Copies of this chain bind each other. A is one copy, B any other.
Amino acid sequence: MLTYERKSVNTLPKKSNFSIIISIVPKSNLENIRHSLAHLLAAAVLKKFPDAKLGIGPTIENGFYYDFLLPRSLSPEDLKEFEKTMRQTIKERWVFSGKKVTADEAKNLFQNQPFKLDLIKEFIEEKKQLTVYSTCPPKTYNLKPITCFIDLCRGGHVKNTGEINSDAFKLTEIAAAYWHGDENKPQLQRIYGVAFKNKKELEAYLEMEEEAKKRDHRKLGQDLELFTFAEEVGPGLPLWLPKGTIVRDELEAWAKEVETAAGYQRVVTPHITKEDLYKISGHIPYYTDDMYSPMNIENEKYYLKPMNCPHHHMIYKSRTRSYRELPLRLTEYGQLYRYERSGTLHGLFRVRGFCQNDAHIYVAEKDVVDEFARVMDMHRYYYKKLGIKNFKVKLGIRDPKNLRKKYHGDDKMWAKAEKLTRAGLKKARVKYSEDVGGAAHYGPKGDVIIESVIGKEYAIGTIQIDLFMPTRFNLSFINERGEKERPVIIHRAPLGSHERMVGFLLEHFAGDFPTWLSPVQVRIAPVSVKSAAYARKLLELFKEKGLRADLASESETLGKNIRQAEMEKIPYVVVVGEKEMQDKNLSVRLRHKKENVKMTIEDFLKKITEEIKERRM
């Protein structure tokens, strides 16, 4: 079962992620620095706005944020002022120290902070120990304790602010956020910051962010006419334009080729399904919040499918299976629908419907580690072809504090699933880190993270070894000894969803798709009307050879046509004038190159068709 990764870069954590600041003690020093900076930010804001009401201030990837209710809207100037105050505090080497407090003490300390009182109430309900952290000037300054900043916090800080490099952080953004992510609660102002070990790292990050902004897939996707959204259709529901559909189709054709060669079998399953199926799978009730409200058909509830797995299990079950058929690899570019709050939607990265490169592999337990490694090899193959230098897995395991609430209760099964997954990752030589609390209710979950050429990370899919669903669906096969045996399931989606993958590729390539993915591969630009007929002949020839070719506008100048092709990021422009007509050569201009290259028609066709066939970068 592949859960669509929620914490993509640059998207806001959901309400449940709030637990980060109270349940996870950051381990690395950089985490401590970022967490400490969040406190310094709150102190700086309180200094300027003594009546500010404080929300939460967790660390996030690359930095931190803090939410505030303030008497007025913040401006970029305010951020500069806060940075200045924070740098002063750093210089003064303020000291962090924490202590346990009782509920009454906490309520007293935060009597003017309604959001903190909310949190205290929740802690009491959950019977959790309350702790507070103070940030105070060092004693040498001999100031009164009233100047300390005190926050409700589980800790994870530097000892004193002297450990923080004051040149290595920056407040980057002001955004709006509802308290507890709930649109019925007050809207707060969220200040984002980033922090690194040193100035060089900060600058590299800011540069990457600057570059990333230029590569924003939402703008590129619009400029290149790949997809669009319409108010009348609804948010988070992309309409794929002809050029975007070509990119999707090419990715799917590639997956089909690679998967067929690897023994996968494609299937197609319906998008709506009776609730019965989701009761068997446990999506009802565990996943219901992420699903759309049911439709009523002849007094039965039907749901839009949020995952393909249950349907694939039903196909597996449609007849008796033999060990000879295993590993049975069922694959589907399956269309899934999951509820996302409109506020969290983000271009193609967070949508309400997406088409996933899904597969479920049914395999004997003795073979699951080998098969897992084969699956990771397929990931590696895809990513290498796409010029992705790094990928890694974040292995979501159970949060030991939440054992019975969020996860199935068979500890032995958990231990075995984790062991098998780690063995598979080791065998496949894949880098991985652990994510406590990141497991699914039915087992450990590996999030696959890929890195673009500019070093930005994207959660693209997940990989999982699942021992739980085979029991829920009562799956079996007849083994070599003629006995019924329970298979293990591997869930995987190396190319993620079309939505996220096309978004990633746009940012990764800055829109300069390799030729095989380019919606238009060759544009033919006649020098003048004299060569227009010849250009049309060439067009026919190129199309016959299976190229996606078109003609430049006959009413524009060559220069303008070449600039237009550059803007459309077309890999090849073939310029034809009278000279080219006579000597039957082509004058070929490569994308972003200033010079044309002369080559024969045959050579050009050989070069480009090979490049496409081999899916070269």
Residues of A within 8 A of B (CB): 225, 228, 230-234, 237-242, 244-246, 248-249, 256, 265-274, 276-277, 280, 292-298, 300, 302, 304, 311, 314-315, 317-319, 330, 335, 337, 339, 341-342, 352-353, 355
Contact of A298 among B231, B242, B342 (CB under 8 A): B342
> Does B304 contact A233, Cβ atoms closer than 8 Å?
no
Shortest Cβ distance from A241 into chain B, in angstroms? 6
> Does B318 contact A269, Cβ atoms closer than 8 Å?
no
Closest to A343 in B: B298
Shortest Cβ distance from A356 into chain B, in angstroms? 14
> Does A233 contact B292, Cβ atoms closer than 8 Å?
no
CA distance A298 to B340 in the complex (A): 10
CA distance A276 to B244 in the complex (A): 25
> Does B237 contact A272, Cβ atoms closer than 8 Å?
yes
Shortest Cβ distance from A6 into chain B, in angstroms? 18
> Does B269 contact A239, Cβ atoms closer than 8 Å?
yes
Which of A225, A232, A246, A352 has its CB near the most chain B CB atoms (within 10 A)? A232
Q: Can you give 26 contacting A-B residue pairs, CB < 8 Å?
A: A225-B319, A228-B318, A230-B314, A232-B314, A233-B273, A233-B274, A233-B277, A233-B314, A234-B270, A234-B274, A234-B302, A239-B268, A239-B270, A239-B314, A240-B269, A241-B315, A242-B266, A245-B265, A245-B268, A246-B266, A271-B271, A271-B304, A272-B353, A292-B302, A293-B296, A297-B352
> Does B330 contact A237, Cβ atoms closer than 8 Å?
no
Which of A246, A269, A280 has its CB near the most chain B CB atoms (within 10 A)? A269
User: Assuming the A-B contacts A233-B274, A242-B265, are A293 and B295 also in contact, with contact meaning beta carbons closer than 8 angstroms in the complex?
Assistant: yes
Residues of B within 8 A of A277 (CB): 230, 232-233
Closest to A227 in B: B268
> Does B311 contact A233, Cβ atoms closer than 8 Å?
yes
Residues of B within 8 A of A311 (CB): 233, 239
Shortest Cβ distance from A541 into chain B, in angstroms? 14
> Does A273 contact B242, Cβ atoms closer than 8 Å?
no
> Does A337 contact B272, Cβ atoms closer than 8 Å?
yes
Q: Known pairs A232-B274, A233-B270, A272-B352. 4 more at Cβ < 8 A?
A: A228-B318, A233-B314, A268-B355, A294-B295
> Does A234 contact B337, Cβ atoms closer than 8 Å?
no
> Does A353 contact B271, Cβ atoms closer than 8 Å?
yes
Residues of B within 8 A of A341 (CB): 298
Residues of B within 8 A of A314 (CB): 230, 232-233, 239
Residues of B within 8 A of A298 (CB): 341-342
Nearest first, the 9 A-B pairs at minimum CB distance are A242-B265, A240-B268, A237-B270, A234-B274, A232-B277, A292-B295, A245-B266, A232-B276, A230-B314
CA distance A188 to B115 in the complex (A): 67
CA distance A228 to B312 in the complex (A): 12
CA distance A304 to B272 in the complex (A): 9
> Does B230 contact A318, Cβ atoms closer than 8 Å?
yes
Shortest Cβ distance from A564 into chain B, in angstroms? 15
> Does A234 contact B300, Cβ atoms closer than 8 Å?
yes
Closest to A273 in B: B233
Residues of B within 8 A of A228 (CB): 315, 318
> Does B274 contact A339, Cβ atoms closer than 8 Å?
no
Contact of A339 among B242, B271, B273, B297 (CB under 8 A): B297
Residues of B within 8 A of A355 (CB): 268
Shortest Cβ distance from A276 into chain B, in angstroms? 5
Residues of B within 8 A of A249 (CB): 256, 266
Residues of B within 8 A of A297 (CB): 234, 292-293, 339, 352
Closest to A553 in B: B324
Residues of B within 8 A of A318 (CB): 228, 230, 239, 241
Residues of B within 8 A of A302 (CB): 234, 292
CA distance A270 to B341 in the complex (A): 18
Residues of B within 8 A of A232 (CB): 273-274, 276-277, 280, 314
Residues of B within 8 A of A274 (CB): 232-234
CA distance A294 to B353 in the complex (A): 16
Closest to A243 in B: B265
> Does B273 contact A234, Cβ atoms closer than 8 Å?
yes
Closest to A270 in B: B237
CA distance A271 to B274 in the complex (A): 17
User: Assuming the A-B contacts A234-B302, A276-B232, A295-B304, are A270 and B315 also in contact, with contact meaning beta carbons closer than 8 angstroms in the complex?
Assistant: no
CA distance A317 to B232 in the complex (A): 12
Residues of B within 8 A of A294 (CB): 295
Which of A270, A272, A315 has its CB near the most chain B CB atoms (within 10 A)? A270
Shortest Cβ distance from A504 into chain B, in angstroms? 18
Contact of A248 among B268, B292, B352 (CB under 8 A): B268
CA distance A353 to B300 in the complex (A): 16
CA distance A40 to B263 in the complex (A): 62
Residues of B within 8 A of A271 (CB): 271, 304, 335, 337, 353
> Does B267 contact A241, Cβ atoms closer than 8 Å?
yes
CA distance A314 to B267 in the complex (A): 30
> Does B330 contact A270, Cβ atoms closer than 8 Å?
no
Shortest Cβ distance from A269 into chain B, in angstroms? 5
Residues of B within 8 A of A339 (CB): 297
CA distance A311 to B248 in the complex (A): 18
CA distance A248 to B265 in the complex (A): 13
Residues of B within 8 A of A335 (CB): 271, 335
Residues of B within 8 A of A238 (CB): 270
CA distance A298 to B240 in the complex (A): 24
Closest to A340 in B: B297
Residues of B within 8 A of A296 (CB): 293
Closest to A312 in B: B239
CA distance A292 to B270 in the complex (A): 15
Closest to A351 in B: B270
Which of A225, A231, A314 has its CB near the most chain B CB atoms (within 10 A)? A314
